[in-house]
Amino acid sequence: METAAGRVLKHLAEQLTEVAEVFAAAGHELFFVGGIVRDALMGEATQGDVDLTTNARPAEIKMLLEPLATVTWNQGEKFGTIGGKVGGFDVEVTTYRGENYQENSRNPEVHFGDSLEEDLKRRDFSINAMAVSVETLELVDPFHGLEDLRSATLRTPFDPLVSFTDDPLRVLRAARFAARMNLAIDPALADAAAQSSSRLSVVATERIAGELLKLLATEDPTMGLQFLLEVGAWRKIFGWEWNQEQLKTLCGSLGELDASQRLVAALYFSPDHEQSLQRLSLSSSESRHARTVLRSIQLLRDRTADKPLLRSLLVSSSKGRKAGSAIESSMLSAIGVGLALNLSARRFSRARDLLSEMKSDNELDNLTPPISGTELITRFQLQEGPEVGRLLGLVQTQIIDKGPLPVSEVWQYLDDELNNN
């Protein structure tokens, strides 16, 4: 065990002494497992979540853990996981498991096991298939994960073609881990990923979106995106792929953007933005934000920016609500992505400057009519119906063209409009 790793895990073990003693007294093994071991071996401290594995069954885990935890949760009990807050850590203890996959199934059939090695073998990569005894701090590394960490190599614990065929999402996880940790991808793993990418259709789109966003959140996702292109995974997910010039442009922009902007930049090259967004099954707020940003990029790319154009984009994005900070954020994201992709520095820079002026002038919260339909009906003795909507639409057009209007000017404009008709 490396000295730095030993210190990290020794500190954790000391915080969980009672847990280790209770499981040992009941005749059960207990091991740190997964990312916490990998990160410790890299000299990184845990961020508060501790994954443990044991040969105890879920009911036994619950019985042993509950007296020691300030709170417990058992949402994952059918998969063998019981959680609890112990010593300031969120601890999840899972029974040793094995998994069987059916050819057209999105999810594995999980069975509980008695072998730590079997549990480690089912994990995605050798660097995640290590365990450390909570009691003795002994490292268990049957698939040479420590060696792969030292050589910065990404491999699977067993035949990668079987691993990726079982769970095709591991193709995206390979891209993420390679990018996050700057790992060389084992050639056999790359070949297996290319052969298995066609099976991504059996993976839930929500899981694909989650992994893709995690990849884009890494410090530099370039290596991962290139991998997804090379093995055909991007085309399988979206039905299109970047050409080399587009990929070069995209990767050159990533350092300037946050994760949500990177997603928009990646999808910018799609021949059908809406279809690409639908294939990701993002949350409604994430989809709305991405859709707004992509539409704004297209318009700012094709037209010289002026305040009426920006007001129109802000109003259409807010759907009748005040523009506010969320819509301003969408516009800033569009400008940031446009500049990063070098679409038109002059147009996007001008848009940024105009948006700053509008914010200083308090325009962003005053881009919708300052009167209501009810007030219109009362003042002009109208019936509810299309005429009310027409008049509000006329006021909205005036605001887009000229900027926010005081109520007195709005009423004067409407008086003139009705008198002239």
Q: What is the CATH number of the domain that holds 72?
A: 3.30.460.10
| In the predicted structure, residue 102 carries a pLDDT above the cut 60 | no
Angle at 91 between CA 87 and CA 96, to 5 degrees: 140
Question: Do 188 and 139 have their domain in common?
Answer: no
- Asked if residue 357 belongs to a domain, the reply is yes
pLDDT digits (tens, 9 = 90+) for 264-317: 999 999 999 999 999 998 988 889 889 999 999 999 999 999 999 999 998 887
Question: Do 264 and 336 have their domain in common?
Answer: yes
Question: Do 146 and 42 have their domain in common?
Answer: yes
Closest CA to 121 of 145, 105, 102, 138: 145
Question: Do 127 and 71 have their domain in common?
Answer: yes
Instruction: Name the least confident of 5-19, 132-146, 240-254, 259-273.
Output: 5-19
Question: Do 6 and 81 have their domain in common?
Answer: yes
Backbone angles phi, psi at 356, to 5 degrees: -65, -40
State the pTM of this model: 0.85
Question: Do 122 and 157 have their domain in common?
Answer: no
Long-range contacts, 260-264 (Cβ 8 Å, 24+): 260/286, 260/289, 260/290, 260/333, 261/293, 261/333, 261/336, 261/337, 261/340, 262/216, 262/221, 263/212, 263/213, 263/216, 263/290, 264/290, 264/293, 264/294, 264/297, 264/333, 264/334, 264/337
- Asked if residue 218 belongs to a domain, the reply is yes
- Asked if residue 226 belongs to a domain, the reply is yes
Which two tokens mark 325?
Answer: 């900070």
**CATH code, 186:** 1.10.110.30
What integer pLDDT is reported at residue 365 of this predicted model?
A: 85
Closest CA to 80 of 108, 49, 46: 108
Tell me the mean pLDDT in the region 80-90. Answer: 91
| In the predicted structure, residue 27 carries a pLDDT above the cut 80 | yes
Structurally, the chain folds into a number of domains equal to 4
Strands 49-54 and 30-33: antiparallel
Give the single-character DSSP code of 361.
T
Give the domain range for residue 290.
257-368
Q: Which of 89, 121, 151 is the last residue of a domain?
A: 151
Instruction: Name the least confident of 86-90, 301-305, 409-413.
Output: 86-90
| In the predicted structure, residue 64 carries a pLDDT above the cut 90 | yes
Which two tokens mark 138?
Answer: 């002994």
Give the single-character DSSP code of 127.
G
Closest CA to 167 of 219, 217, 141, 128: 128
- Asked if residue 121 belongs to a domain, the reply is yes
Question: Do 7 and 143 have their domain in common?
Answer: yes
**Crossing angle of helices 222-230/170-181, nearest 10°?**
150
| Number of other CB atoms surrounding residue 219 within 10 Å | 10
| In the predicted structure, residue 321 carries a pLDDT above the cut 60 | no
| In the predicted structure, residue 332 carries a pLDDT above the cut 80 | yes
Q: Which of 116, 151, 186 is the last residue of a domain?
A: 151
- Asked if residue 48 belongs to a domain, the reply is yes
Question: Do 160 and 129 have their domain in common?
Answer: no
Cα 293 to Cα 241, 261, 288, 337, distances in angstroms: 20, 9, 9, 9
On the CB side of 393, CA atoms within 13 Å amount to: 6
Q: Which of 217, 241, 265 is the last residue of a domain?
A: 241
- Asked if residue 185 belongs to a domain, the reply is yes
Question: Do 46 and 128 have their domain in common?
Answer: yes
| In the predicted structure, residue 5 carries a pLDDT above the cut 90 | no
pLDDT digits (tens, 9 = 90+) for 213-256: 999 999 999 999 999 999 999 999 999 999 989 999 999 999 98
pLDDT digits (tens, 9 = 90+) for 182-209: 999 999 999 999 999 999 999 999 999 9
- Asked if residue 389 belongs to a domain, the reply is yes
Question: Do 142 and 164 have their domain in common?
Answer: no
Question: Do 270 and 395 have their domain in common?
Answer: no
| In the predicted structure, residue 323 carries a pLDDT above the cut 80 | no
- Asked if residue 302 belongs to a domain, the reply is yes
Question: Do 17 and 145 have their domain in common?
Answer: yes
Cβ atoms of 67 and 82 closer than 8 Å: no
